[in-house]
Amino acid sequence: MSFITNTLRCAAMLIVPLCLSACGVDRWAGYAEKTKTDRWIDSLMRERYLWNDRIPDFNKLNYFQAPATFFKALLAQEDKLSAIDSLPSVAVRSIADTRYSYGIQYSMFGPMYNDTAYFARVDYVAHHSPAELAGLQRGDWIMEMNGGPVTRKNYVLLSGSGAVTLTVGSYDIPTDSVIARETPVPMGAACAITDNPVYYNKVYQRADKRIGYLVYNRCTFGADPAAPDNRPYDRDLLDASNTLAAAGAAGGDFILDLRYNDGGDMACAELLCTLLAPAGALGEVLGYAQYNDRIGTTTLTLDPARITGGTNLNVQTLYVLTGTQTAAAAELIINCLKPYMSVVLVGQKSAGQTLYTERYANPELLIRITPVVCRLFNSDNSSDYAGGFTPDYLLNPDDYPAYFLPLGDERELLLGTALSLIDGSYTAQ
């Protein structure tokens, strides 16, 4: 903590007590207790917030406000990303991205057969989850729960509740409808799910080409006190690079699936970029993170030491599968690799988040804030995707229900399109 920060913190603490002790009554202890959360927020924001020069002066702030109200008073007008929440409202985590659920992400469609009944399409299934153990896959349709319809009032139960019996259907091409399977599907109660972001990898053979495919669903290293290096997901990413290289996926075309990657840790994005970059680019500048004037600018690099234990895949053309959830650090990967290789986007327009946020938690105060801390640029000083990256091949999987299939299935719309672009068999949908 800098001298300036400590000085400002003390100033914030002293403003009101001077008034409260004017009548000869020392109210410092009571004041400090009632304002400590707001003072912690204030101190951290003045140190780390990108627009810290716009935070109001101490004498214009009310340190007795509710933390959420106080936090909002510090934000720049254009800031739509910074957030605050209380730790008790966040699922308890022994490892990053652990959540209490069935392990499914779904989309609601309907009403299907009356004014209130809906179908829930399974968009994503976490590994080792109740949903996966029940046999659910991406592209399945949940038509009923415990013999009753899915409605606006009860669909939230799909996010996590007790054991349930599902009526599951599949899309039928001839009838352009969802047909229920004969056997109901029992699914166990929701539980704590740890969703490893290194979700899937495979090498496909097309003519004389071996094409690597990696599904990476969040830029997180998965801090786990029980792990020797405390970065188990980074280790999994390095292991995946070895597996892909051993299967012949290095030195050519590669497909990176970021459609469910909503960002995360910048260092994880650096790691993945270094694994994918052309060998000749190792050691070069990857990009820049521009913080406030107090912190300055940090240089991101393609440091080969970062991938010790893994294999540089020396990709020449990168096909990135994108969706509306593709954001922040995931977009950094796209932007920062563009100067070094051909990057072809397939899917939907990305979120367009050129600003980077960081989380700061205070367990004693039971609060966490996630302020914007920097802007991201590639090595060409480009950061022109605030409106989102528009894919070279714009495809919405919702429009092609017959090809809404599990990730890794060669017939799945976005993967199948990328494979056909590589092998030369592509025809416009």
CATH at 180:
2.30.42.10
Q: Do 375 and 348 meet the contact criterion of CB atoms below 8 Å apart?
A: no
Structure tokens of 423? 């092998």
Closest to 140 (Cα-Cα) out of 113, 171, 165: 171
Last residue within a domain, chosen from 19, 43, 75: 75
pLDDT per residue over 290-328, tens digit each? Answer: 999 999 999 999 999 999 999 999 999 999 999 999 999
Residue, of 429 and 216, whose pLDDT is higher: 216
Same domain, 278 and 394: yes
Same domain, 233 and 284: yes
pLDDT confidence bin for 409, thresholds 50/70/90: very high
pLDDT for position 47: 97
Q: Which residue has the tokens 């563009």?
A: 338
Where are the alpha helices (H) located in 172-279, listed in sequence order?
232-246, 266-276
pLDDT confidence bin for 111, thresholds 50/70/90: confident
Last residue within a domain, chosen from 161, 192, 223: 192
pLDDT per residue over 165-189, tens digit each? Answer: 999 999 999 999 999 999 999 999 9
Mean pLDDT for all residues in the chain = 89
Last residue within a domain, chosen from 41, 75, 109: 75
pLDDT confidence bin for 91, thresholds 50/70/90: very low
Strands 141-145, 164-172: pairing is antiparallel
CATH number at residue 280: 3.90.226.10
Closest to 332 (Cα-Cα) out of 346, 352, 304: 352
Looking at the chain, how many residues does it have? 429
> Does the residue 81 lie in any domain?
no
Is residue 5's pLDDT more than 60?
Answer: no
> Does the residue 271 lie in any domain?
yes
Same domain, 113 and 186: yes
> Does the residue 82 lie in any domain?
no
Q: Do 50 and 374 meet the contact criterion of CB atoms below 8 Å apart?
A: yes
pLDDT for position 397: 97
Is residue 403's pLDDT more than 80?
Answer: yes
Highest mean pLDDT among 23-27, 162-166, 229-233: 162-166
Same domain, 183 and 42: no
Same domain, 309 and 405: yes
Same domain, 255 and 380: yes
Number of independent structural domains in the chain? 3
Helix (H, G, I), strand (E, B) or coil at 330: helix
pLDDT confidence bin for 15, thresholds 50/70/90: very low
Same domain, 180 and 210: no
pLDDT for position 225: 64
> Does the residue 206 lie in any domain?
yes
Cβ density class 338-375: b for 16+ within 10 Å, e for less: bbbbebbbbbbbbbbbbbbbeebeeeeeebbbebbbbb
> Does the residue 93 lie in any domain?
no
Is residue 18's pLDDT more than 60?
Answer: no
> Does the residue 270 lie in any domain?
yes
- What residue numbers bound the domain in which 25 lies? 3-75
pLDDT per residue over 218-276, tens digit each? Answer: 999 987 766 667 899 999 999 999 999 999 999 999 999 999 999 999 999 999 999 99
pLDDT confidence bin for 27, thresholds 50/70/90: low
Same domain, 43 and 121: no
pLDDT confidence bin for 116, thresholds 50/70/90: confident
pLDDT for position 17: 38
Same domain, 213 and 174: no
Structure tokens of 133? 């153990």
One-letter amino acid of 126: A
Same domain, 252 and 279: yes
In angstroms, the first-to-last Cα distance of the chain is: 57
Is residue 427's pLDDT more than 70?
Answer: yes
Is residue 13's pLDDT more than 70?
Answer: no
Same domain, 285 and 417: yes
pLDDT confidence bin for 90, thresholds 50/70/90: very low
Same domain, 183 and 200: no
Q: Do 394 and 181 meet the contact criterion of CB atoms below 8 Å apart?
A: no
pLDDT per residue over 30-81, tens digit each? Answer: 677 889 999 999 999 999 999 999 999 999 999 999 999 999 999 999 999 9
Helix (H, G, I), strand (E, B) or coil at 390: coil
Pairwise CA distance, residues 61 & 380, whole Å: 40
> Does the residue 33 lie in any domain?
yes
Sign of CA dihedral 114, 117, 122, 123: positive
Helix (H, G, I), strand (E, B) or coil at 55: coil
> Does the residue 222 lie in any domain?
yes
